[in-house]
Amino acid sequence: MLAYGPTGRLEVWFANSAATIHVSPKCKYFSSYQKYDKQCDIKAFGNNTDKGAGEGDIDADIDCRGKTTRIQITQVMHVPEAKGQIHSLKVLPQNVFHILADHICITKKKKDLC
């Protein structure tokens, strides 16, 4: 599920306009996964850093207007110490995702899903 705001649930994605990568703390959420040979440092909020352990794709369910649609989020970094899942608005494919004033519009084959 893609959502805004705190929910306390790790399966919820938080849209972030400052993030430069998608992040997930749970390895089990990945539908495809490649572990890094060596963990890499990534810059987090402030002067903090976290360790990326690998990356892959995650299949996510989008709930909108009573309808659930499955999408694939690609190139997600696995960061075990992350406090939640982050969806980077900077790397969204612009032909599929459109950021509007109060929500993100997801389109598929010229048909709006939200």
Residue reference for tokens 């892959």 = 56
Which amino acid type is present at position 55? Answer: E
pTM of the shown model: 0.72
- One DSSP character per residue, 29-91 reads GEEEEEEEEEEEEEE-STT-EEEEEEEEEEEEEEEETTEEEEEEEEEEEE-TT-SSEEEEGGG
Residues of the chain with pLDDT under 70: 1-11, 45-46, 64-65, 92-114
pLDDT digits (tens, 9 = 90+) for 13-28: 777 777 888 999 989 9
Structure tokens, 57: 């794709």
d(C-alpha 86, C-alpha 92), whole Å: 12
Q: Output the pLDDT for position 79.
A: 93
